[in-house]
Amino acid sequence: EILGALMSMLIVWMVTGVLTYLACMRLLHPDYDIDATVMLITSACAVLANILLSLILHQTGHGHSRGAQARERVSAPLEKPALSNASLRAAFVHAVGDLFQSISVLISALIIFFKPQYKIADPICTFVFSIFVLATTIPILRDIVTVLMEG
């Protein structure tokens, strides 16, 4: 479970790194074309899908279910709730990170759709949301490292 959570966080950081690199390339070489309509449709679908996924993972992560899982939580009071299901938390943060990246693309698409000369909005939004995504993963990564190091 904890290795899956670590892998999820590493994937989030790698994807964010690639997006940041591509944004830097777009700033250095501004001779690219963007199809704002396709970007708008794709990002809107991604935002909807990520909202749905985040809601599902959020509901699952807060123990709204009844039955065996609820009894397990009661029978193991010494386990920290924050670490009890790190892979689920990592999946939730991964989905929220994807949601914010999708929102970034949607904002960029809207700007570029209405003002095509402002295509620089794409890399700028990527930088802003990449910083946010990385900052939100640090607490979970800290929890993962604590578990792996038997803290």
94 in any annotated domain: yes
User: Is the backbone of residue 115 left (phi > 0), alpha (psi -120 to 50) or beta?
Assistant: beta
Between the alpha carbon of residue 23 and those of residues 2, 17, 77, 88, 141, the distances in Å are 32, 10, 46, 30, 25
Instruction: Name the domain count of the chain.
Output: 1
Identify each DSSP E strand in 22-66 by its residue range.
none
Does the predicted model carry a pTM greater than 0.75?
A: no
71 in any annotated domain: no
19 in any annotated domain: yes
Q: How far apart are CA 129 and CA 109, in angstroms?
A: 14
Q: Under 8 Å CB-to-CB from 109, ≥6 apart: which residues?
A: 36, 39, 40, 43
For 104, the enclosing helix (H) or strand (E) is helix 86-114
87 in any annotated domain: yes
Task: Tell the burial category of 96 from Cβ atoms under 10 Å away from its Cβ (0-12, 13-18, 19+).
Answer: buried
76 in any annotated domain: no
pLDDT above 90: residue 77: no
pLDDT above 80: residue 62: no
100 in any annotated domain: yes
- Which tens digit of pLDDT belongs to each residue from 91-140? 787 788 788 888 888 999 999 999 988 989 889 988 988 888 888 888 88
70 in any annotated domain: no
Mean predicted lDDT score pLDDT of the chain: 80
133 in any annotated domain: yes
Comparing 80-84, 117-121, 145-149, the range with the smallest average pLDDT is 80-84
Q: How far apart are CA 118 and CA 111, in angstroms?
A: 7
Instruction: Compare 94 and 41 and report the one with higher pLDDT.
Output: 41
Domain of 126 in residue numbering reads as: 1-60+82-150
